[in-house]
Amino acid sequence: MNDIARERASLYRDMAPRHLTPLWEVLHRLVPPRPEPACLPHQWKYADVRPFVERSGEVITAEEAVRRVLIFENPGLPGQSRVTGSLYAGLQLILPGEIAPAHRHTQSALRFIVEGSGAYTAVDGERTTMHPGDFILTPSWTWHDHGNEGREPVVWLDGLDIPTIAFLDAGFAENASAAVQAIARPEGTSAARHGANLAPVRDADARPYGMASPLFSYPYDRSRAALAALVRAKAPVDPCDGHKLRYVNPATGGWPMPTMAAFLQWLPAGFRGRGSRQTDAAVYSVVEGHGRAVVEPVGAGAGVPRTFELGPRDHFVVPSWAKLSLAADEDCVLFSFSDRPIQQAIGVWRESRAG
């Protein structure tokens, strides 16, 4: 060590007890030229995951677990219950006759139904019955419980903004006094008020969930029909995305929840997509068809491109600014979600479709 290096080292040592550190030693890491996510690309094949979901159903009830979920833990973020830097994801199982007790929290949740029909989720007094491919919201601070009055196991993908709310130290939660919340309105009321391109005239019913969409269930048959109609109409196929639509809050035209965006896309058979990058890391759930995702990450995973063979109920995560290229051997339908609303609200969201 030369004199100046020694002087610097002693400066750092002397000021450390005062909780002072030199910016110039870390500046390049604080503001890297492009994102350097610790998050890695990863795939969870349903055939690999399903036996563990089933075994979890043998060792604990939904009620005892409160939520019986296997967390999708990103291999680049071990022990942190995160699927990306800002998001949590997992697969939840509810068996016939079970309930998951009512509670509420400031974290927002979304559900995407992966397997089975006949379970319900209730949000602030209204139930909606789950079918594969349905997209369901649990907005921040709404009471919610789940139950399965059907005859088959039901599995869904949970997406929550848990790491984001933890980062903000803004998490609150409470349990309801009753495990199953009372039904205040018949099933379908939210869809009638907000799901037919109509809206309540007066304010009382206009925004039951504050900033989140007043429509809390987006059934798959309607979303799929929209994409299928675009395919039939020979609408232009985006070179990166195929046919891709975003779920909307019908009251605003904006995102369904303030912290999470969700999308449904159709890749026509034979599609060979161009690569694109976005600053919002995304979690994908394959609904239909077989294809491929090539993910070329930056940051911790740089230099290790991953190819994921896609089939129904497989899940994968694409880190921020990774190049994603999608291909389809047969018609493919993909669901995905991300933190794009946060990034767009603060003006930092970017996309590169240059390849």
Question: What is the sign, positive or negative, of the torsion defined by CA atoms of 67, 46, 339, 135?
Answer: negative
Cα–Cα dist 49/118, whole Å: 22
- Indicate whether 69 belongs to the interface with ligand 1HN (CB under 6 A): yes
Q: Count residues binding ligand 1HN (CB under 6 A).
A: 9
Q: Which is nearer to ligand 1HN, 111 or 323 (CB)?
A: 111
Interface with ligand 1HN by CB under 6 A: which range of 154-162, 181-189, 299-307, 328-336?
154-162
Decide if residue 283 touches ligand 1HN (CB under 6 A).
Answer: no
Determine how β-strand 135-138 pairs with β-strand 277-278.
Answer: unpaired
Pick one of 115, 158, 280, 331: the residue that binds ligand 1HN (CB under 6 A): 158
CB 121 → ligand 1HN: shortest distance, Å? 7
Q: Which of residues 48-67 bind ligand 1HN (CB under 6 A)?
A: 67
- Residue 220 tokens, joined: 């798959």
Q: Minimal distance in Å, beta carbon 209 to ligand 1HN?
A: 15
3-state helix, strand, coil in the chain (%, to 5): 20, 30, 45
Q: Minimum distance from CB of 168 to ligand 1HN (Å)? A: 16
Decide whether 92 or 278 has the Cβ nearer to ligand 1HN.
92
> Considering beta carbons, is residue 160 or 261 the nearer one to ligand 1HN?
160
By CB under 6 A, tell whether 144 contacts ligand 1HN: yes
Sequence letter at residue 118: G
* Degrees, nearest 5: CA angle 313-237-348: 75
Do the Cβ atoms of 193 and 151 come closer than 8 Å?
no
Query: Given the complex with ligand 1HN, which of 98 and 158 has the nearer CB atom?
Result: 158
- Position with the least CB separation from ligand 1HN: 67
Distance in Å, CB of 70 to ligand 1HN, minimum: 11
Q: Which one-letter DSSP state was computed for residue 79?
A: T
Looking at residue 187, its amino acid is E
Query: Does 224 interact with ligand 1HN (rule: CB under 6 A)?
Result: no
Torsion of CA 62, 67, 73, 77, to 10 degrees: -140
Identify which range of 123-131, 155-163, 194-202, 233-241 contacts ligand 1HN by CB under 6 A: 155-163
Site map 103..142 versus ligand 1HN, x via CB under 6 A: ------x----------------------------x----
161 binds ligand 1HN, rule: CB under 6 A: no
Which of 43, 84, 92, 336 is the binder for ligand 1HN (CB under 6 A)?
92
β-sheet with 217-218: strand ranges across: 69-71, 88-94, 154-160, 109-115, 135-138, 217-218
Instruction: Pick between residue 124 and residue 288 the one whose CB is nearest to ligand 1HN.
Output: 124
Distance CA 135, CA 341 (A): 17
Q: Of 109 and 155, which CB lies nearer to ligand 1HN in the complex structure?
A: 109
Q: How far is the CB of 182 from ligand 1HN (least distance, A)?
A: 18
d(CA 251, CA 70): 34
How far from 121 is each of 82, 109, 146, 333, CA to CA, in Å? 24, 12, 4, 24
Distance CA 323, CA 305 (A): 9
d(CA 153, CA 268): 31
The H or E element spanning position 325 is strand 323-328
Measure the CA–CA gap between 25 and 30, rounded to whole angstroms: 10
Q: How far is the CB of 105 from ligand 1HN (least distance, A)?
A: 6
Q: How far is the CB of 148 from ligand 1HN (least distance, A)?
A: 13
Contact positions toward ligand 1HN, by CB under 6 A?
67, 69, 92, 109, 138, 144, 158, 160, 162
